[in-house]
């Protein structure tokens, strides 16, 4: 069974049909740049471009980089234009996609759902925290496999700063930090999250998950197991498709 997933990020909008029996992309993904400013209309046009690339006409799951309540309403917009706040994202995307059935979920929550079903968190009990490092830091918190939605731990205060302004992968690039230098910032952040939640497992997602060998060995003093996301940067697409499948009454496999 295939459902379409779209992952909206601060720098790119990417999507593809997803094979929900395997938990993987059914075709090579299409990606367009996130417009700047990332207004609702601009982002919706990017989503339409990605979906139309495949000629898709079925249900579509979309992630959003912020808090989404009721499966529709955007409440925060740290890494996109603030005009998103209080927007009915489900209605906007459905209209822009010609009336297709649309499901909208927080981006890190989608990635976490995918990793817990098909990836690094599969069959793990206790508390699992997935953290996506990209333009910002997204988070998904699970207790015995149950998601606590919209946790947004990237905005915890750390040393007097919003944590994602200190330890996102964008900060690494913007300040030309070495992998080791950046890993020390991530370590400080993980220690803070661990102090608050005492997870048994951290799953590190986002684009940096492809390069885990360059920095994970530099992180010390964390009691929890730390592993890269197995679905890497496709986790959001897969999780978005899973949520759309559930909304359509077609449970994912795996």
Q: State pLDDT tens for residues 210-235.
A: 999 999 999 999 999 999 999 998 99
Q: Indicate if the pLDDT at residue 3 is higher than 80.
A: yes
- Contacts of 78 by beta carbon, 8 Å cutoff, 6+ apart: 65, 66, 136, 154, 155, 164
Measured CA to CA, the distance from residue 23 to residue 7 in angstroms comes to 15
Q: State pLDDT tens for residues 4-16.
A: 999 999 889 999 9
Confidence of residue 252 (pLDDT cuts 50, 70, 90): low
Confidence of residue 249 (pLDDT cuts 50, 70, 90): confident
Q: Which domain holds residue 46?
A: 2-109+234-247
The predicted model gives 82-99 an average pLDDT of 97
> 12-19 and 2-8: which strand pairing?
antiparallel
Are residue 55 and residue 70 in the same domain, yes or no? yes
Q: Indicate if the pLDDT at residue 146 is higher than 70.
A: yes
Q: Would 84 be classed as within a structural domain?
A: yes
Are residue 145 and residue 62 in the same domain, yes or no? no
Q: Determine contact, residues 45/94, Cβ cutoff 8 Å.
A: no
Are residue 158 and residue 85 in the same domain, yes or no? no
The predicted model gives 107-133 an average pLDDT of 97
Are residue 127 and residue 198 in the same domain, yes or no? yes
Are residue 210 and residue 174 in the same domain, yes or no? yes
Q: Would 117 be classed as within a structural domain?
A: no
CATH number at residue 57: 3.30.420.40
Are residue 77 and residue 172 in the same domain, yes or no? no
Q: State pLDDT tens for residues 46-71.
A: 999 999 999 999 999 999 999 999 98
Q: Would 253 be classed as within a structural domain?
A: no
Structure token digits, residue 226: 């730390």
Task: Sheet containing 127-133: give its strands across.
Answer: 146-148, 137-143, 127-133, 201-205, 225-228
**pTM of this prediction?**
0.93
State percent of the chain over pLDDT 70. 98
Are residue 104 and residue 140 in the same domain, yes or no? no
Q: Indicate if the pLDDT at residue 202 is higher than 90.
A: yes
Number of domains in the chain: 2
Are residue 192 and residue 148 in the same domain, yes or no? yes
Are residue 96 and residue 139 in the same domain, yes or no? no
The predicted model gives 239-249 an average pLDDT of 92
pLDDT at 129: 98
pLDDT at 248: 79
Q: Determine contact, residues 67/76, Cβ cutoff 8 Å.
A: yes
């Amino acid at each position: 069974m295939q459902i379409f997933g779209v992952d909206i990020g601060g720098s790119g909008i990417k999507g593809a049909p997803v094979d929900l029996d395997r938990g993987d992309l059914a075709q090579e993904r299409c990606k367009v740049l996130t417009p700047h400013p990332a207004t609702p209309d601009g982002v919706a046009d990017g989503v339409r471009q990605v979906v139309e690339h495949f000629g898709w006409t079925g249900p579509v799951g979309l992630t959003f980089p912020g808090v989404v309540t009721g499966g529709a309403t955007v409440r925060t917009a740290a890494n996109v234009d603030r005009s998103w706040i209080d927007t009915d994202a489900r209605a906007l995307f459905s209209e822009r996609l010609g009336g297709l059935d649309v499901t909208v979920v927080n981006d890190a929550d989608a990635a976490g759902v995918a990793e817990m079903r098909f990836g690094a968190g599969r069959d793990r009990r206790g508390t699992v925290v997935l953290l996506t490092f990209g333009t910002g830091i997204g988070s998904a918190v699970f207790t015995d496999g149950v998601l606590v939605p919209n946790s947004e731990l990237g905005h915890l205060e750390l040393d007097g700063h919003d944590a994602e302004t200190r330890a996102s992968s964008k900060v690494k690039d913007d300040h030309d930090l070495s992998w080791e230098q950046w890993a020390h910032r991530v370590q400080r952040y993980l220690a803070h999250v661990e102090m608050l939640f005492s997870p048994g497992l951290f799953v590190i997602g986002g684009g940096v998950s492809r390069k885990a060998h360059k920095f994970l060995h530099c992180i010390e003093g964390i009691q929890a197991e730390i592993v890269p996301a197995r679905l890497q940067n496709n986790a959001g697409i897969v999780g978005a498709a899973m949520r759309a499948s559930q909304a359509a009454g077609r449970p994912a496999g795996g």
